[in-house]
Structure 1
């Protein structure tokens, strides 16, 4: 069995154990929520802080990496928008949610332990360069496009000023624990100061549990969201997410001549299913929650097979 196949098996087994624990009521629902809160607000932010503060980024500025990845996001988002609008006759607001769902990879809860298992610390460092801009870009695009969709659907005649939109976006962004961890890591890196030994060991200890706990907590969360209807629409988004998006990322990696490991990481990242953030954005926008929930659940199950296929393709191509 190839090493990456073992990693895929371990990753999705941990998710399945979390799902089963929630389904069989082994854990109280509040326990699952507490685990998710710990992972999202403490363990993963500290892990990202330490990676960005201390990792060696040997490939220079990540402009080509970002270009390859976000081109795949853009193409997939556009296809999702028009499929939901034209193919299923949904409104523009639902199309925005569809775009987020099809283009928003689960780079944190799933991506961090997955990339660590497949490509090690160097792969995780490359992933952190994507994570550092991923959420701001996706949240910003969602806010702007949803304001447009509200007017397109005739659901709002209110015109928000640019200042209102920007301040609201920044408030959401900089209250996010992941962003706080990333910014803190950048500040320490720019300062040139070393993290004190005791503090570094504490941070490393808490960050080291992020991977397995994130996967377990993700399984618990998936059981809570589940399949909530709109299956045909959700399946179309899952196909775009798991097949079109990594294909575009692969093509862009070849076109831009990314170094081997960067190319493999960008394809692997694009092949990951959507995570809970797409549902959170849908909930914040007040529409498309069932579509996001069903897509997230079906996509995670299907990704156990499709992600392995894309890893094999990347190994052959690069």
Structure 2
């Protein structure tokens, strides 16, 4: 078995183990919620803090990387929203949910351990550059669209800005990124005891995140809206990474960065589109089904896209 296939199998195997633990009754669904909360609120923020505090970002803002990835986000969003509203005849709010489901990769619970497993610390540092602006951009778009299309959109522009800033500045992942950058700028050396605390929690982030994700998939399952969900999952797994690869070649993105951008684009969506769907009161089945279907298929498609990137850069 090749190292790539073995690592992909290991990453998604942890997700499957989490799912099996819930399916077999070993653990209850609320355990998955608790593990996800721990991963997102404690372990992953500390991992991001450690990375931002120690990584070498000497080349400045990675505009080519961001352009590559977010062009793929935009094309996938438009394709998903157009497909659901024009082909399947759903309303605008369901179209927004579809757009999010087609373009919002699971960069945290799945992406971080995946990149660490495949590409090591350097690959994770590149992914962190995407995450650092992915969270604010996608959060801002979601809040704005909910304000425009949601049923409780009072407060006007001021309310939208306030909700965005409150959500942004209270997000543990954003706090971890900002704290790491501030520590880096201060030039201070981390005390040995502090390093041990950070490492102890940050080092379990990937394993806990993947296991918790599997338990979460057990809770969501698949029911209703299967045909449009399969369409959205296919767009997420094939259109978005294809656009990322085309842009990487077009603007001359280096191979190492292109691998990260395409791999990130090829990941399935996470729970965020479902949360937005719940706020809209529509598209919950579409979001949860497409997430589950895409995650099940991604064990094959992510390996496929990594192979395609290698072939394209020969």
**So what's the TM-score if we normalise by structure 1?**
0.95
Task: Tell me the CA shift for residue 59 of structure 1.
Answer: 4.3
Query: Are the aligned partners of 2:237 and 2:294 in contact in 1 as well (CA < 8 Å)?
Result: yes
Task: Tell me the CA shift for residue 57 of structure 1.
Answer: 2.6
Q: Mapping of 1:123-138 within 5 angstroms?
A: 123-138=123-138
Query: Are the aligned partners of 1:18 and 1:218 in contact in 2 as well (CA < 8 Å)?
Result: yes
Task: Tell me the CA shift for residue 187 of structure 1.
Answer: 1.2
Task: Tell me the CA shift for residue 33 of structure 1.
Answer: 2.2
2:28 aligned with 1:37: no
Write out per-residue CA displacement over residues 66-123 of structure 1, whole angstroms, 9 at most, x where no aligned residue: 1110000000000111101100111101101111111000001100110011111000
Deviates more, 1:280-289 or 1:34-43: 280-289
Consecutive unaligned residues in structure 1, runs of 5 or more: none
Deviates more, 1:33-42 or 1:71-80: 33-42
> Partner of 2:297 in structure 1?
302
Q: SS at the partner of 1:147?
A: helix
Query: Are the aligned partners of 1:174 and 1:180 in contact in 2 as well (CA < 8 Å)?
Result: yes
Q: SS at the partner of 2:41?
A: helix
Deviates more, 1:30-39 or 1:61-70: 30-39
Q: 2:287 aligns with which of 276, 285, 292?
A: 292
2:187 aligned with 1:215: no
Query: Are the aligned partners of 1:49 and 1:182 in contact in 2 as well (CA < 8 Å)?
Result: yes
Write out per-residue CA displacement over residues 207-236 of structure 1, whole angstroms, 9 at most, x where no aligned residue: 000111111000000000111310111011
d(CA) in 2 for partners of 1:59, 1:20: 44
Deviates more, 1:56-65 or 1:270-279: 56-65
d(CA) in 2 for partners of 1:85, 1:160: 28
Task: Tell me the CA shift for residue 161 of structure 1.
Answer: 2.1
2:150 aligned with 1:183: no
Q: Mapping of 1:164-243 within 5 angstroms?
A: 164-243=159-238
Query: Are the aligned partners of 1:84 and 1:95 in contact in 2 as well (CA < 8 Å)?
Result: yes
Write out per-residue CA displacement over residues 259-318 of structure 1, whole angstroms, 9 at most, x where no aligned residue: 221111000000000011221222233321111100110000010111110000111222
d(CA) in 2 for partners of 1:52, 1:281: 29
Query: Are the aligned partners of 2:147 and 2:160 in contact in 1 as well (CA < 8 Å)?
Result: no
Give the length in aligned residue pairs.
Answer: 313
Task: Tell me the CA shift for residue 159 of structure 1.
Answer: 6.1
**So what's the TM-score if we normalise by structure 2?**
0.96
2:66 aligned with 1:71: no
> Partner of 1:17 in structure 2?
17
Query: Are the aligned partners of 2:267 and 2:298 in contact in 1 as well (CA < 8 Å)?
Result: yes
Consecutive unaligned residues in structure 2, runs of 5 or more: none
Write out per-residue CA displacement over residues 229-268 of structure 1, whole angstroms, 9 at most, x where no aligned residue: 1011101111110000000000111111112211110000
Write out per-residue CA displacement over residues 106-160 of structure 1, whole angstroms, 9 at most, x where no aligned residue: 001100110011111000000001111111111111222333335xxxx67x664
> Partner of 2:247 in structure 1?
252
d(CA) in 2 for partners of 1:286, 1:201: 44
2:84 aligned with 1:89: no
d(CA) in 2 for partners of 1:317, 1:5: 19
Q: SS at the partner of 2:224?
A: coil
Q: Mapping of 1:113-132 within 5 angstroms?
A: 113-132=113-132
Task: Tell me the CA shift for residue 58 of structure 1.
Answer: 5.0
2:127 aligned with 1:148: no
d(CA) in 2 for partners of 1:98, 1:294: 11
d(CA) in 2 for partners of 1:246, 1:58: 27
